[in-house]
Amino acid sequence: MAAILSTFAVVAVATGCGSRLTPSAIRSDSVGRVSYAAAAATGSGGAASSGSSGSTTQSTVPGGASASSSGAGSSTGTGTSGTSTGATSPSAAGGPATAAATAGSAAPAALPATINQVNGTGCTPATGSVVNIGTVGTYSGVIGAVDQNSAVPVQVWADYANACGGLDGHQVKLFTADDGGDPSTAVSETQQMVQTDHVIAFVGDFAVLTGPAEDAYLEQNKIPEIGGDGVSTVYYADNMWFPVTTDFNDLGLAALGAAKKAGTTKLAVFYCVELPTLCGATATVVENNATAQGMTDVLNAPVSLTQPSFAAQCSQAQSAGANVIFSLVDSAGQVREADNCATAANFHPSYISISLSANSDQPSDANLQGLFITVGSFPWTDNTTPAEKTFQAQTVKYAPSELLNATSSADWASGILAMQAAAGNLSASNPTSAQILKGLYSIKNNTLGGLTAPLTFTNNGQPPTKISCYFAAQVENKKWTAPFGDTLQCP
């Protein structure tokens, strides 16, 4: 029986009031990045010690197949401190905004073919006027700690964009703010970025808990949210959200399918009580569809992310005859869970789950070898395609100590989608949200060079069509690997 295990990074509600400070607290650097002190402290993607990509490994996958993949990983980089200069940037309303990079009204530099931007070839630096882009997320508290600096991949993309054609030739100035997991703070951050910083689009928001609160404001003002974590229900409920990841519930069903192929059909579900709208809702989808997926649901066990031991639940699952656990807890909880099952109950089931952010905790754990997850965007460990190689190379270049995970791939795909949407659609001066939206609605059956399932967005007032296909990641030989490589798996 092929071993399949899992990770899941959706965690408890983090409290706090966010980190946007007064303009005097702004930190920025020469590449056009602005963040606020608390968010910048988590890592701005600047220079750090050098990193390297992993070597090719062989990976056992559900069904007995094997494929080569390559891993990469590192720890968080930090940015440099400075102050903004007084250059101006066009706003969505046509007014001026403070910017750190030199702005101008000249026509943008010649844009490389968009496929070159995706693949990182034939690039020329962006020299056109500055376009302000925002990203608001939970970078502190419980979720921030679990995700390990989800803002950094967006900042890496912004650095790359400025070196490779920008947004239709325009330089990118990225504004970052931490909402601390508080919905009201997320709304105020979003409003201030649009109204004061003149941000015309948001890219790669990590807004697991706070996304729904921002929705009404984005819809009212027609400000696009490009990509991001893909977990919030708004991604497939509103046409201002443009997901680059598989629908969360469909990832769960795909994980069940993988377990069935591996011959592990007696299912126990461990789900966190702290997030009923995520852990609980996904657990319900899994439970309701287990029989149809050829599984027998033998136990549904609510657990807490903070409990020190899962020994009791492990014993219950073992007594119920489970041979696979669908684990909806954070990565650190999964390590405790697998270790408790092995040591306290001498119980060694397989584990499956869906991944918002597979972290560095799992690969080194002896009880999590073979861990298998379904992934919404391209597997961050793979470097098969030119687009994946660009992601790997640019991360090493701009944030060499960054820990790569599923959020890294989703955020990178979010930025590439923004570049594709902007190409040929932005005016030489005063680019607008409407122009970005026009480009987004022109995206048809586009995989961004293999970074996503085919994306199609339509300006018909309806939410985007859900993506059911998925990629996968697996722990083998104490490394994250890509068992299917860059090949998209479709039910």
pLDDT for res 305: 85
Task: Indicate the pLDDT class of residue 236, thresholds 50, 70 and 90.
Answer: confident
pLDDT digits (tens, 9 = 90+) for 149-187: 678 999 999 999 999 999 999 999 999 999 988 999 999
Rg of the chain, C-alpha, whole Å: 22
Q: What is the DSSP string of 104-138?
A: --SPPPPPPPHHHHHHT-S-----EEEEEEEEEE-
Q: What is the mean pLDDT of residues 419-445?
A: 96
Report the C-alpha gap between 352 and 375 in whole angstroms.
12
Residues 269 and 442 sit within 8 Å (Cβ to Cβ): no
pLDDT for res 75: 26
The number of CA neighbours under 13 Å toward the Cβ of 240 is 20
Report the C-alpha gap between 82 and 80 in whole angstroms.
7
Q: What is the mean pLDDT of residues 227-254?
A: 88
Q: What is the mean pLDDT of residues 22-36?
A: 34
pLDDT for res 146: 60
pLDDT for res 181: 85
Report the C-alpha gap between 143 and 471 in whole angstroms.
23
Report the C-alpha gap between 123 and 121 in whole angstroms.
5
Q: What is the mean pLDDT of residues 456-483?
A: 89
pLDDT for res 11: 28
Strand stretches in 30-65, DSSP E: 33-36, 52-60
Residue 274 reports pLDDT greater than 50: yes
Strand stretches in 304-424, DSSP E: 324-328, 350-355, 372-375
Residue 453 reports pLDDT greater than 60: yes
Task: Indicate the pLDDT class of residue 148, thresholds 50, 70 and 90.
Answer: low
pLDDT digits (tens, 9 = 90+) for 84-100: 222 323 233 332 222 23
pLDDT for res 413: 96
pLDDT for res 98: 28
Residue 39 reports pLDDT greater than 80: no
What distance lies between CA 128 and its chain's CA centroid? 28
pLDDT for res 1: 35
pLDDT for res 62: 30
Phi-psi region of 184 (alpha: psi -120 to 50; beta: other; left: phi over 0): alpha
pLDDT digits (tens, 9 = 90+) for 179-224: 988 999 999 999 999 999 999 999 999 888 888 999 999 999 999 9
pLDDT for res 99: 29
Task: Indicate the pLDDT class of residue 113, thresholds 50, 70 and 90.
Answer: low
pTM of the model: 0.79
Dihedral (C-alpha) 163, 200, 243, 352: value to the nearest 10 degrees?
70
